[in-house]
Amino acid sequence: MTKTKFKTSLIAPCGINCGTCSAYLRVKDKCPGCRERTNMKVSVSRCRIKNCVVFSEGKIKYCSSCESFACRRLRELDKRYRTKYNMSLIDNLNSIRETGIREFIRTEKIKWSCSKCGGTICVHRGHCLQCGV
């Protein structure tokens, strides 16, 4: 397993950092991330937020730029992530809007890098998939 590169192309429209997602970090049937166009049969291809008309037509880059921010779908996903994974997508999007994507990426790298091996801590597992810490 290799270390994740923290980059803007891995930040999904909903504010999830795909680089910390278990589907992106796995080796077999690896998800390419939400911004990649793919025919793979991964859950991202069925994502209602990614496939939202406003985003898919290229009108916005992040949900926080939408006039419907935060829509019902995003609020429901945010609630699930806050409850299960202790992360708020709405907070992520507000941070991107307030400090910019580059600063958000810098803080994500600090937050999600393993202090033991430098690997990536998986948001869904709560530990580094490389060393287990």
The 10s digit of each residue's pLDDT in 22-72 is: 988 988 888 888 877 665 555 555 677 777 767 667 778 899 998 889 899
Domain ranges of the chain: 8-112
Percent of the chain with pLDDT strictly greater than 90: 55
Tell me the CA end-to-end span of the chain in Å, nearest whole number.
Answer: 14
pTM score: 0.86
Token representation of residue 128: 């580094």
Tally of CB atoms within 10 A around 78: 21
Helix (H, G, I), strand (E, B) or coil at 105: helix
